[in-house]
């Protein structure tokens, strides 16, 4: 129930205004978000890299409805990759970037439903044309980012958003991998379709991040119980770790990490053929423990001023995060 309340809050503009304008909030947000600027992000990357961590950087923002803004987000990523390369932080994929498709234009498809019928004769419907525009714009912007990543010696992973975006995102991955075969994607185990998606994606050369997921979805589309989500995660993880691709195991759950280590052993996975991923600010001691044991650990580091939706979904994922957040607010009053 708490998870559903928090996920509803992530979409509420009224609650967003209350939280983002609270004078004490930003001090707490700093635990989970690197800062507002690329300079802030680079400072965090350097610190994590010094501790033996890999990093993926996410410039916060989603559901962009303006083509110019979508292009500006891509520009930010291109400039970021240039700065990372100049600082010597991208060699061998040490630091890569994660991109939300709706931040770079996929959400333009939503304008079709808002615009309603328009005049003209013949050809495709306005809705279909706008949907095509969304995917076309996203594909062009992601290709620009991938080109910059290739020049920097690193990779790009496409984040997965809510369940209505899965098919379009997987189409983008399929289309762009012909030119950028190392383009990664994400599968969320809370969705009932995910075991099948993992089977399709567990191919040689693929890079797949497996996470639990932190969006709302109808019961027929998603598992409701945490135990069901965990079982789906274990099933997906087995498929990926026994497949021919490069699995990225994104979880903070000690039980699932133990299962992953068992599967790695039984599948004969060699070091460097998979990695663990965890969020910035969550279980840093476990991140260090895994890295010290010889595992590859990549930290997902977000930055930017549009942090509200990201933060609330992190609180929904793990009750301990909400406890920390509330305790930190009380301690600063």
Q: Which CA distances in Å does 112 have to 67, 70, 71, 127?
A: 14, 17, 20, 4
Q: Which residue among 58, 159, 182, 197 is the active-site one?
A: 159
Residues 203-222: what's their mean pLDDT? 93
The DSSP secondary-structure symbol of 222 reads B
For residue range 66-125, list pLDDT tens digits in order. 999 999 999 999 999 999 999 999 999 999 999 999 999 999 966 544 544 444 434 444
For residue range 122-168, list pLDDT tens digits in order. 444 444 455 588 999 999 999 999 999 999 999 999 999 999 999 99
Name the one residue in this structure whose structure tokens are 């439903």: 113
How sure is the predictor about 243, in pLDDT bands with cuts at 50, 70 and 90?
very high
Which pair of tokens denotes residue 74? 């891509």
Asked if 269 contacts 241 with a C-beta cutoff of 8 angstroms, the reply is yes
| C-alpha 7: how far from chain center | 16
The DSSP secondary-structure symbol of 125 reads -
Q: Is 150 a catalytic residue?
A: no
173, pLDDT greater than 80: yes
| pLDDT score recorded for residue 8 | 53
User: Quick count: other Cβ atoms within 10 Å of Cβ 288?
Assistant: 14
pLDDT over 70 percentage in the chain: 77
The C-alpha atoms of residue 249 and residue 260 are separated, in whole angstroms, by: 8
Provide the mean pLDDT of the chain.
86
| pLDDT score recorded for residue 31 | 81
Q: Which residue among 3, 94, 165, 209 is the active-site one?
A: 209
Rg (Cα) of the chain, in Å, rounded? 20
Q: Which CA distances in Å does 11 have to 17, 104, 318, 329?
A: 11, 19, 18, 22
For residue range 30-39, list pLDDT tens digits in order. 788 898 899 9
Q: Is 231 a catalytic residue?
A: no
Asked if 297 contacts 290 with a C-beta cutoff of 8 angstroms, the reply is yes
The C-alpha atoms of residue 279 and residue 10 are separated, in whole angstroms, by: 18
The DSSP secondary-structure symbol of 255 reads H
The C-alpha atoms of residue 233 and residue 111 are separated, in whole angstroms, by: 34
Q: Which CA distances in Å does 156 have to 24, 101, 143?
A: 34, 12, 10
User: Quick count: other Cβ atoms within 10 Å of Cβ 166?
Assistant: 21
Beta strands in the chain (DSSP E): 54-59, 95-99, 156-158, 184-188, 207-211, 246-250, 275-279, 297-303
278, pLDDT greater than 90: yes
Residues 43-49: what's their mean pLDDT? 97
Residues 49-67: what's their mean pLDDT? 94
43 or 314: which carries more pLDDT confidence?
A: 43
Q: Which domains does the chain have, with CATH numbers?
A: 1-32+307-333 (no CATH), 35-306 (3.20.20.220)
């Amino acid at each position: 129930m708490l998870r559903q309340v928090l996920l509803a809050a992530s979409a509420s503009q009224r609650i967003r205004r209350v939280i983002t304008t609270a004078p004490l909030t930003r001090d707490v947000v700093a635990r989970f978000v690197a800062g507002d600027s690329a300079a802030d992000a680079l400072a965090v990357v350097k610190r994590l890299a010094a501790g033996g961590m890999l990093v993926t950087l996410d410039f916060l923002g989603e559901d962009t409805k303006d083509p110019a803004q979508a292009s500006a987000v891509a520009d930010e990523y291109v400039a970021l990759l240039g700065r990372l390369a100049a600082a010597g932080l991208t060699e061998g994929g040490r630091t890569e970037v994660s991109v939300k498709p709706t931040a770079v234009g996929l959400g333009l498809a939503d304008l079709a439903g808002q615009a309603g019928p328009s005049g003209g004769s013949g050809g495709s419907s306005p809705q279909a044309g706008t949907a095509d525009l969304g995917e076309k714009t996203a594909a062009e912007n992601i290709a620009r980012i991938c080109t910059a990543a290739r020049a920097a010696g690193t990779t790009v992973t496409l984040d997965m958003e809510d369940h209505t975006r899965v098919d379009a995102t997987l189409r983008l991955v399929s289309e762009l991998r012909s030119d950028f075969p190392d383009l990664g994607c994400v599968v969320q185990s809370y969705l009932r379709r995910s075991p099948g998606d993992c089977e399709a994606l567990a191919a040689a050369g693929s890079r797949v991040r497996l996470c639990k997921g932190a969006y709302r979805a109808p019961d027929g589309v998603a598992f409701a119980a945490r135990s069901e989500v965990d079982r789906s995660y274990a099933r997906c993880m087995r498929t990926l770790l026994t497949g021919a691709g490069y699995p990225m195991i994104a979880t903070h759950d000690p039980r699932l990490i133990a299962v992953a280590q068992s599967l790695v052993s039984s599948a004969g996975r060699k070091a460097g053929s998979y990695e663990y991923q965890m969020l910035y600010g969550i279980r840093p001691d476990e991140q260090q423990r895994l890295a010290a044991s010889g595992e590859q650990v990549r930290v997902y580091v977000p930055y930017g001023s549009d942090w509200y939706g990201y933060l609330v979904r992190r609180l929904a994922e793990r009750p301990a995060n909400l406890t920390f957040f509330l305790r930190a607010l009380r301690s600063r009053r």
